[in-house]
Chains A and B, each alone.
Chain A
Amino acid sequence: MVATLIRILGDFELAEEAVQEAFVVALERWPRDGAPDNPGAWIMRTARNRAIDRVRRERRYEDKLRELERLMPGEPDEPADTSLPDDRLRLFFTCCHPALSPEARVALTLRTLGGLSTPEVARAFLTGEGAMQQRIVRAKRKIRAAGVPYEVPPDHELPDRLRSLLTVLYLVFNEGYLATAADTVVRRELCDEAIRLARLLGVLMPDESEVRALLALMLLHHSRRDARVDDRGRLVLLDEQDRSLWHTEEIEEGTRLAAAARLDGPYAIQAAIAAEHAAEVTDWGRVAGLYGRLAAIEPSPVVELNRAVAVSMVAGPEAGLVLVDRLLRGRLEDYHLLHATRADMLRRLGRDDQAAAAYRRARELAANPAERAFLDRRLAELSG
């Protein structure tokens, strides 16, 4: 509802305030006079009128005013959902415009398109409410002052801009999935929100394979939420999880979407890998191949690390260790999962002293309490 007003007015604050004022009037009048037949349309009409009044007082909005009156003539029977799907898509791209900082994009998307209030967004990202409020206000002002357009990007820019949008959604999901310093491993509301937004985006952009692929990836990760942490809040590794706690509907949907995605996009490849992990029996050879594909389009040491794990499952820990050791002096040298992975392979080879050293290094670097506890357990197992 607000999205259409935002686009026409080019001003978040004006649109939101107009809608808020409309709600206030509704709360005053409806109990007294009875609710109208079409409450949504009533709100829109009232918000539009409030916006017109406000805009009349500000000269520089003259063009916007004319457009507003032209696009929304006062009519008694307007459809309930008056926010065009196109407008929500435009809003998506606006919130994720590269002219905004990554933090601002995330905050604005959650606040405007997601169902979260500012305090909720602040809590989700472990920021003070005041600081989050400032961040969102500044982002809205930048959009207005710098003239960030409310448009779906033209074709030649779409691939990059869509990638930026999907990154925002995946960032939100990951923040909920593995909180860096919080005591719980999953912050549910963020995961749910990310999935909801990815679904919405999939409806708005039905031809984009990577959008569906991202949804698949998130659903597959999310399906394991109840098995990832045991009843004492300790992290449980994938192969040790109680599969009866996995959510099968999400696995089915995720697997189906992953199978339909084109394997030339990074999210599609990651979704296919996730689908293998969710299957009855994981085809590790296929997983290793998929990581190889991923490395070809988005090379990174983390991808290489994951490929090493897959290789170790197919060809044994010795083969995996060769690949992992190559990463020791690179960007991952302070990455706790590198050392944890090394430790695991050394353990499987019976090289306990070296395994223990690697687990200790991993524990030093791990930031999440659940992960630290897990590493402590592994260390205890080695010495016990």
Chain B
Amino acid sequence: MRYMLLIVGDEAQYADRSEEERQAAMQGWTDYTQELIEAGAFVAGDGLQSSSTATTLRVQNGERLLTDGPFADTKEQVGGFYTIECKDLDEAIDWAAKMPSAESGVTEIRPVMEYAGTSYDEAPASVQEGAAS
């Protein structure tokens, strides 16, 4: 089963970090990602730049309405994500608990939709190749 792990936290707490702290944090994430890959659980993942760099788009009657910032003003913001492949919810929870941000933030664990007949694995080889490049 696939799950998305949404990494949520208060960005402000990362604002005043020294270069050393930043490097150490990066290493933590690199190690975690490596662990996921070696376990065969990694599907996708990335960190996001701060929510102040976000732009929100709503389209109404063909007209684009752009706002500066994330879709909602919240105390905690989405900072990154992973998509993982694992056996069940308990395994997904175990992975989420190992994340470097587990104790400083919140992780939302949500199963990814499975659309019958459109699973990636059944796509023609050319499509799979195309996506991998």
Contact = CB atoms under 8 A, between A and B. Distances in A.
Contacts of A149: 87-90
A151 B89 contact: no
A59 B116 CA distance: 7
A19 to B, nearest CB: 24
Contact of A99 (B1, B87, B89, B117): B89
B116 A145 contact: no
Contacts of A79: none
Contacts of B1: 147
A147 B116 contact: no
A147 B88 contact: yes
B70 interface: no
B90 A151 contact: yes
B88 A148 contact: yes
B114 interface: yes
Residue of B89, B93, B110, B114 with highest tally of chain A CB at under 10 A: B89
A71 interface: no
Interface in A136-169: 145-149, 151, 153, 157
A99 B89 CA distance: 9
Nearest to A157: B90
Contacts of B93: 99
Given A99-B89, A151-B90, A146 B116 contact: no
B111 interface: yes
A160 to B, nearest CB: 12
A334 B89 CA distance: 40
Contacts, number: 31
Chain A binding surface SS class:
loop
Interface string A311-323: 0000000000000
Interface of A: 58-60, 97, 99, 145-149, 151, 153, 157
The CB with the most chain B CB atoms within 10 A, among A59, A147, A151, is that of: A147
Nearest to B91: A149
A146 B111 contact: yes
A27 B120 CA distance: 45
Nearest to B115: A60
Contact of B89 (A59, A60, A147): A147
A147 B111 contact: yes
Interface in B86-101: 87-90, 92-93
B89 A148 contact: yes
Question: Which of A58, A97, A145, A151 has the most B CB atoms < 10 Å from its CB?
Answer: A145
B89 A146 contact: yes
Given A58-B116, A146-B111, 4 more contacts: A59-B117, A99-B93, A148-B88, A157-B90
The 5 closest A-B pairs by CB, nearest first: A149-B88, A147-B88, A147-B1, A147-B89, A148-B89
B88 A60 contact: no
Give the one of A60, A146, A148 with max B CB within 10 A.
A146
A238 to B, nearest CB: 43
A157 B97 CA distance: 13
A147 B87 CA distance: 8
A59 B118 CA distance: 12
B114 A60 contact: yes
Nearest to A161: B90
